[in-house]
Amino acid sequence: MIEVQKLTKYYNDFCAVDGISMTIHKGEILGLLGPNGAGKTTTLRMLTGYFRPTSGTIKIKEMHMPEDAIKIKSLIGYLPESAPLYHSMLVYDYLNYVAKIKGIDDKEKRYDRLLQLSDLCGLSDIMAKPIGNLSKGLKQRVGIAHAMMTDPEILILDEPTSGLDPNQIAEIRDIIKRIGKEKTIIFSTHILSEAEATCDRIAIINNGRVVADDTTAKLTQSVTQGAVIKLTVSGASRDQVFERLSTIDPGLEIKDIAPPEDGVVCFELSTPDNRDLRSQIYLKIKETDWIILQLAKESQALEKIFRNLTREDA
C-alpha cells in the first residue's frame, strides 16, 4: 500500500529524517514512536505531501508522491499535530468547506456526511460555534472529522490523543481500532501504552532513523525475556535484605531503587539468563519476619525497548 524508500529530509544543515525505509500494508495500524524531535512529524508531513523530501521516494498505491500528489492527497485523511484550523470559521462552515474541496459536490450528500461525522465524533453541540472558541479536545475532534471526511483509505494521524482527557483518549482509540479494520492507519504518539494497545505494528524512530520496526507482539516478546523483578520489603534494613538476597543465586543482579515510602526497601532484581527467581526469593524471605509488599515481574516491555533504543548515550 505505502512504500517508502530512503526518505531523507534536511532543514538547511539539520537532518531531521535520515534515510527511512518502510512498507505499510493495507489494513495495518502502524504506530510511529519516538522521543520529541525524532522526526515523526516530519516523516508524516512528507507522506501527506506537505513537505517535499530532500531525497528518497514515496510510493502509495502505485502512485509516486510529487507527481501524483493531488490523487494521493485525495486518498489520505490527515490530522496534523495540533489540529490547526481556521479559527474564525464555524465548525459547520469549516466541515462544509472541507467536504466541498474534497469533492463531495452534491449538497444533500454533503449534509448527510456531516451528520454522520458529527455523530461519530460527537460534534452536534458545537456545530454552530467558532473553531477558535473550542477547547483543545474539541478542536481535535473537529480535526478527526476533517480527516475522515471522504472515508479515505489511508488515515495519517499525528499525535491524535495529545491534549485530550482520558475519556476522549479512550473514545479516539476506539475509533482508531474500529476504522482500522478496513483502513490503513499510521499514527504517531509518544504514549507507549497507547501504541501497545492499538497498533498491529510499531516503528520506533530516533534521530531521524528507524531503530526498530516489527509487529507489536514480536517487539514485546523480545524483551519480556529480560524481565526484571521488583521487590519491596518492609521490616528490615537495606543491608540485611541485600545480604539475604545475594545468597539465592550467584548470578542475581541486585539494583537499589528509591523506596516509595519510609521504612521499606526496594530492589530491582534480574539474572543474565532470564530465569524467574520469584519463588526462591519468596521462600528466602519467608524464613524471616519481614513483610513482602511487592514481588512482581515488570511488564513494561515496550517502555524498556523504547528507552534502550532512544537513549542519547545508546
Q: Which positions touch another protein (CB under 8 A)?
A: 45, 48-52, 69-71, 73-74, 76, 78, 80, 82, 84-89, 93, 97-98, 100-103, 105, 146
Closer residue to another protein in complex, CB, 97/111: 97
Minimum CB distance to another protein smaller for 96 or for 220: 96
Q: Is the dihedral of CA 270, 275, 279, 280 positive or negative?
A: negative
Region label for 7, one of left (φ > 0), alpha (ψ between -120 and 50) or beta (otherwise): beta
Shorter beta-carbon distance to another protein: residue 47 or 233:
47
Cβ proximity to another protein, 45 vs 141, nearer residue: 45
Minimum separation from the CB atom of position 50 to another protein (A): 5
**Residue 304 Cβ, how far from another protein at the closest point, in Å?**
34
Q: Which of 311, 296, 94, 88 is nearest to 211 (CA)?
A: 311
Three-state SS string over the chain comes to CEEEEEEEEEECCEEEEEEEEEEECCCCEEEEECCCCCCHHHHHHHHCCCCCCCEEEEEECCEECCCCHHHHHHHEEEECCCCCCCCCCEHHHHHHHHHHHCCCCCHHHHHHHHHHHHHHHCCCCCCCCEHHHCCHHHHHHHHHHHHCCCCCCEEEEECCCCCCCHHHHHHHHHHHHHHCCCCEEEEEECCHHHHHHHCCEEEEEECCEEEEEEEHHHHHHHHHCCCCEEEEEECCCHHHHHHHHHCCCCCCEEEECCCCCCCEEEEEEECCCCCCCHHHHHHHHHCCCCEEEEEEECCCHHHHHHHHHHCCCC
Instruction: State the sign of the Cα–Cα–Cα–Cα dihedral 212, 217, 220, 224.
Output: negative
Q: What's the min distance (Å) between Cβ of 152 and another protein? A: 10
CB of 25 to another protein, least distance (A): 22
71 class by beta-carbon count within 10 Å (0-12 exposed, 13-18 middle, 19+ buried): exposed
Closest CB to another protein among 123 and 266?
Answer: 123
Among residues 139 and 201, whose Cβ is nearest to another protein? 139
- To another protein, the closest distance from the beta carbon of 95 in angstroms equals 12
**Minimum distance from residue 80 beta carbon to another protein (Å):** 5
Considering the complex, what minimum distance in angstroms separates the CB of residue 268 from another protein?
A: 43
Q: 76 or 302: whose CB is closer to another protein?
A: 76
* Closest to another protein by CB, 99 or 252: 99
Least Å from the CB of residue 153 to another protein:
13
Closest CB 146 distance from another protein, rounded Å: 7
Q: Quick one: 61 or 102, whose CB is closer to another protein?
A: 102
